[in-house]
Chain A
Amino acid sequence: MIPTVVLAQAGATNDFAEMVAEGLSLGSIYALLGMGLVIIFKATRVLNFAHGALTAAGAYLIAAFASIYDIPGRWIPGVAPWFSWTLSVILALIAAAFLGVLLERAFIRPMVGEEMFAVALVTLGVDIMLRGITNDFIGTDPRPLGDPFGTQILDLGWVTVAYSEVAQFFTAVVLVAGVALFFRSRTGIAMRATAFDQEAARAQGINVGRIFSIAWAIGAVLATVAGLFISIFPRRSAGVDTSTAFFVFRAFPVVIVGGLDSVVGAILGGFMIGFAESAAVSYLQFDFLGAGFGGIVPYIVMLIVLIVRPYGIFGTEEIRRV
């Protein structure tokens, strides 16, 4: 067993290494959120303000499957906890994908061809509604996600990282690779074609409606994975609660920095903002600013990028008026 220790105070380990580890961890969450937003935006030209609600709903689904109702673990006794937890997460991800498709069919599909602004406001409405429903399920107390990582910490001497952070980073890498591979598949090419020219894509016989659904399913799955890592140690160890949905507001700067229509931008933007935030937490400690300054760093970075490159670092210039 690797010994569990309390998070070392600054100074006990290499400050810089700690900062990098924290940046990678935060960055991978931001990258997951940003990728979901960008995929939905690219394929459907919808800026999805409901991403926060999707994150919270996804995290709640994991909590429901894994710890509240213990599905499918309750039917298969004698299985290792981590294995049944993984199964629960997979089920929750499938449920989240269906939730994404459902939302797209019910609220976004009728808006096809409408102003981008109008659709964005519809997603804002969806966000409020879905958040209300999710919060009703969550209740007043946070719901733990029952993850097997717990508060275990990997202590390398010069740096300490939580097991969950290691898992998170590798999950993010796998999902980024997965998304990259998906875009080379038949459906992925069709999605990129749809993103580039919807009418021409329809003329090729591409079922644009199905592409929209797939994009929302992927977005919801990525939001759920992000929701999982937001709701466990070391972020919010208590679990998913009624304020989880608001975490996503920090991901909007990510996609604006990276460019709304660039997946690469979302990934790099995610890590950029993750590092900026963690650097601010480590090094920017002014009395007059008080604690929690790190929380506003994403927005400062966003403001600077908006001034220099309004369409994002990797974004296409045409969409600057968004």
Chain B
Amino acid sequence: MLEVANLEVVYNDVVLVLRGISLEVPDGSIVALLGANGAGKTTTLRAIGGLLDVHEGDVTKGHVTFDGADITELDPSDRVKLGISQVLEGRRIFGELTVDENLAAGAYVNRDRKATSAAYDQVMTLFPRLAERRKATAGYLSGGEQQMLAIGRALMQSPKLLVLDEPSLGLAPLLVQQVRDIIVDVNKAGVSILLIEQNANMALSIADYGYIMETGKVVMDGDPQKLLKDEDVQEFYLGLHGDEGERKSFRDVKHYKRRKRWLS
């Protein structure tokens, strides 16, 4: 189980991005983390994956624990060894390498040959498309294939927890559905999922629990069905409007009104 407790992250010693965020991902569940641009979703992922240092970020308060062990200050490679794998925003596949080599790079920490080849077979059954393009240079794959490769690469580490940062980014609706199904399949195989998304509809449709972030804090959390029915969530994340045909502009909405409702 992953637990983020009261986490505060500061960039460049001055920019406070996370203001005491807390969330947990129980074993075997899918947890969605939603929020608008700049809410701190990706920073949360970096704090979980250990990639804050290259961005001059520091955890100033709080801690991240995984299966009871404090991992707040751990190296990314040690976190991967513990079983936390991540799919970065924008796929970030190794474009100059072939599909197979990308997967091999993903399996870098997995020194056990049997486990590696088992993970490879699993990825190939999960993504038949990748099996067809094994020798292709990854940079020439389509966006959907690249996203599959990014997920497959993370699965090569045989993770217990998979953290995905906006896997639906820049994909056609049909592909978003496909990615969603894949996430469900991976979860069924026993991997817990933390899904960071802007596509609230997609994320909440498969999640067991949802968190909504705003300016570095969790402003709302609960059962996805409850979240989906919430007026504010509908308005700001799903683009549904209370009154038929009447378009609302963000400018007309008073910020404090929303805050008040969410915190109450």
Contact = CB atoms under 8 A, between A and B. Distances in A.
B71 to A, nearest CB: 13
Contact of A186 (B49, B76, B108, B153): B108
Given A193-B105, A200-B88, A200-B92, A205 B97 contact: no
A203 B76 contact: yes
Interface centre among B80, B101, B105 (most CB of A within 10 A): B105
Interface in B11-51: 49-51
A197 interface: yes
B235 interface: no
A245 B49 CA distance: 43
Nearest to A187: B108
Interface of A: 113, 186, 189-190, 192-193, 196-207
A205 B88 contact: no
A205 B86 CA distance: 10
Interface in B91-140: 92-97, 101-102, 104-106, 108-109
B163 to A, nearest CB: 10
Given A190-B108, A192-B101, A205 B92 contact: no
22 contacts: A189-B97, A189-B105, A189-B108, A192-B101, A193-B94, A193-B101, A196-B94, A196-B95, A196-B96, A199-B51, A199-B54, A200-B92, A201-B94, A203-B51, A203-B80, A203-B88, A203-B92, A204-B109, A204-B154, A205-B80, A205-B81, A205-B157
Contacts of B225: none
A196 B77 contact: no
Nearest to A190: B108
A43 to B, nearest CB: 13
B51 A192 contact: no
B97 A196 contact: yes
Interface in B43-87: 49-51, 54, 75-77, 79-81, 86
Contacts, number: 72
A192 B154 CA distance: 17
Nearest to B82: A205
A174 B101 CA distance: 24
Contacts of B93: 200
Contact of A205 (B54, B76, B102, B104): B76
Contact of A199 (B92, B153, B154): B92
Contacts of B101: 189, 192-193
Contacts of A205: 76-77, 79-81, 108-109, 157
B76 to A, nearest CB: 5
A200 B88 CA distance: 7
A192 B98 CA distance: 11
Among B81, B108, B157, residue most surrounded by chain A Cβ atoms (within 10 Å)? B108
Contacts of A186: 104, 108
Contacts of B105: 189-190, 192-193, 201, 204, 206
Nearest to B91: A200
A36 B190 CA distance: 45
A251 B3 CA distance: 53
Given A202-B51, A203-B76, A192 B108 contact: no
A203 B108 CA distance: 11
A204 B95 contact: no
B92 A202 contact: no
Nearest to A200: B92
Nearest to A202: B76
A204 B153 contact: yes
Contact of B106 (A198, A204, A207): A204
Contacts of A113: 54
B131 to A, nearest CB: 19
Contacts of B153: 204
Contacts of A207: 75, 77
A165 B142 CA distance: 49
Contacts of B94: 192-193, 196-197, 200-201
B104 A189 contact: yes
A133 B157 CA distance: 45
**Which of B49, B88, B94 counts the most A-chain CB atoms under 10 A from its CB?**
B94
Contacts of B157: 204-205
Contacts of A199: 51, 54, 88, 92
Contacts of A201: 94, 105
A203 B104 contact: no
A188 to B, nearest CB: 9
A200 B108 CA distance: 13
A198 B55 CA distance: 12
A113 B76 CA distance: 16
B60 to A, nearest CB: 20
A180 to B, nearest CB: 14
Would you list the 5 A-B pairs with minimal beta carbon distance, nearest first?
A205-B80, A200-B92, A205-B109, A193-B105, A205-B77
Contacts of B86: 203
Nearest to A113: B54
Given A193-B102, A203-B76, A206-B105, 17 more contacts: A186-B108, A189-B101, A189-B104, A189-B108, A192-B97, A196-B96, A196-B97, A198-B54, A199-B88, A200-B92, A200-B94, A201-B94, A203-B51, A204-B80, A204-B109, A205-B81, A207-B75
